[in-house]
Amino acid sequence: MGLSGLDIYKLLPKTNCRECGFVTCLAFAMQLAKRQVSSEKCPYLSDEAKRTLESASRPPIKLITIGEGDGKLEIGNETVMFRHEEKFHHPCGLGFIIEDNLGDKEISETIKKINALNFERVGCMLRPDLIAIRQNGNTDRFVQAVKAVREQTSMNLMLMSKDFKAQQEALKLVSSARPLVYCLDKDNYQEFSSLISEFKVPVVVCAQDLSGLSEITQNLINQGIEDIVLDTGKKATTEKIWEMTQIRRLSLFRSQRSLGFPSLVIVENRADPFQETLTAITYIAKYAGIVLISGNETWEALALLTLRQNIYTDPQKPLCVEPKIYPVGNVNNNSPVLITTNFSLTYYTVLGEVEASKVPSYIVASDTEGMSVLTAWAAEKFTAETIAATLDKCNIKDSVSHRRLIIPGYVAVLSGELEERSGWQIIVGPKEASGIPSFLKNL
């Protein structure tokens, strides 16, 4: 576990010299504890303090990069068991397995289908990250297939073969794209490690249990190979959840370096794509760095990518609703207009009361960066100026024929200036949302 702010503070010079850019040594220490800054910013650290801080700040789970350029996949560097404790940092990669024994045409079609799998949700593009080519037959066919895939997609690659020659040839072709090699196990890792060292590519280590994994990875680490992804093979889902949990716990709580890597899970259930999807859902939630599936249906990808987006959202950002007009009930051009902030708790409280009033109304959520009414007012995010701008921007005047705006009672002081700036007649609403129903009914 990392050091606390106070632990770190005790290692600092405590001179409050401010050369690090922070006002006090303690403020700097608190940011160090959160790993938001580098200890190098302090020019006066003792050597001993430097060593302690460096070892404490080494990420317990190594960041692994697969591929290169804009579309590269970065996984690992996770710091918590549960997303609310801080956040999950690097969204798990989603990939598809393509068999090399498919015909060229089939491969092309599959790739085309996979390439088309991208969706826009709440302003983000969601797309899969990885195509894995799996060897079924001879060396040449595998290399051919890798070549074909490489030519037809910019997606990151994974090479699935235990054929030394095949891997070697394939890597000669595509190593510059930093593919992920699958896999080294207890039987082949001595031989394959030279290949990995030569091409400097990330590699999956596979073993049936954590001790087995640890033995191999420790050996590789000793050889300087540290871009590792872990796989414990095919197992029952609950057993897998247990192992993934253990890997995460051991690396976070016990700094088990030999397991301090992201893990990969292969989910294959061609007979039942629904179950395949649900199993993949499980691992996206529980600690997978990469999930590989066999199906490539749109609905499957859409569901998995959406869940990934949800799980990897930063939970420390305040809950906001989109700043816009929300019609409640059967509104018409005479319906009252209420304004509030876009802090979701505030908005939903107001919404609940407006619904309860049964008076069809418009609620305008003004962008206060997720602050509540009084906080936003104090911080100048909910002022006559910003409200007037919101009214303009959301074009509420196109929705109603009147010009009467109801503002929260707590910011009644804004009335005068807001009336001048917006040209709307300002009606001061109740201070508490609970007063809204009777207020709207008696309007």
What residues numbered 68-107 form the site for another protein, per CB under 8 A? Answer: 82-84
Which residues from 133-172 bind another protein, rule CB under 8 A? none
**DSSP string computed for 307-348:** HHHHHTS-TTSPPB--SSEEEESS--TT--EEEEESBHHHHH
CB of 324 to another protein, least distance (A): 16
Rounded to a whole number of angstroms, the minimum distance from the CB of residue 69 to another protein is: 25
Among residues 40, 299, 334, 443, the one that binds another protein under rule CB under 8 A: 299
Stretch 115-134 residues interacting with another protein (CB under 8 A): 116, 119, 121
How far is residue 22's CA from residue 437's CA, in Å, rounded to a whole number?
49
Candidates 192, 199, 377, 382; binder of another protein (CB under 8 A) is 377
- Pick between residue 8 and residue 107 the one whose CB is nearest to another protein: 8
Nearer to another protein, 63 or 303 (CB): 303
Residue 242 binds another protein, judged by CB under 8 A: yes
Crossing angle between the packed helical segments 189-199 and 210-222, to the nearest 10 degrees: 50
| Residue 49 within binding range of another protein, rule CB under 8 A | no
Q: Which of the ranges 60-68, 151-159, 263-271, 308-316 carries the binding residues for another protein, by CB under 8 A? A: 308-316
Distance CA 171, CA 213 (A): 24
Cβ atoms of 394 and 405 closer than 8 Å = no
Backbone torsions φ then ψ of 32, nearest 5 degrees: -60, -40
Applying CB under 8 A, among 19, 68, 378, 402 the residue interacting with another protein is 378
Tell me which of 49, 303, 360, 385 binds another protein, using CB under 8 A.
303
Q: Which of residues 254-283 bind another protein (CB under 8 A)?
A: 254, 256, 258-259, 273-275, 277-279, 281-282
Q: How far is CA 328 from the centre of its chain?
A: 32
Site for another protein in 395-424 (CB under 8 A): 412-413, 415-416
Position 375 contacts another protein (CB under 8 A): yes
- Kindly indicate which of the ranges 61-69, 156-164, 260-268, 303-311 contains the residues binding another protein, using the contact rule CB under 8 A: 303-311
Question: Which two three-digit tokens encode residue 76?
Answer: 């690992």
CB of 395 to another protein, least distance (A): 23
Does residue 374 bind another protein (CB under 8 A)? yes
| Residue carrying structure tokens 């088309």 | 116
Q: Which lies closer to another protein via its Cβ, residue 161 or residue 366?
A: 366
Among 45, 221, 311, 389, binds another protein (CB under 8 A): 311
The count of other CB atoms within 10 Å of the CB of residue 247 is 24
> Does residue 94 contact residue 301 with C-beta atoms inside 8 Å?
yes
Binders in 211-240 for another protein, by CB under 8 A: 211, 214-215, 218, 236-238
Applying CB under 8 A, among 188, 255, 306, 399 the residue interacting with another protein is 306
Looking at beta carbons only, is 307 or 337 nearer to another protein?
A: 307
CB 41 within 8 A of CB 21: yes
Phi and psi angles of residue 243, each rounded to the nearest 5 degrees, phi first? -65, -40
What residue has token string 């705006």?
405
356-360's contacts with Cβ under 8 Å and 24+ in sequence apart are 356/436, 356/437, 357/436, 357/437, 357/438, 357/439, 357/440, 357/441, 358/329, 359/329, 359/335, 359/437, 359/440, 359/441, 359/443, 360/327, 360/328, 360/329, 360/330, 360/331, 360/332, 360/335
Q: Which residues are 361's β-sheet partners?
A: 328
Site for another protein contains 44 (CB under 8 A): no
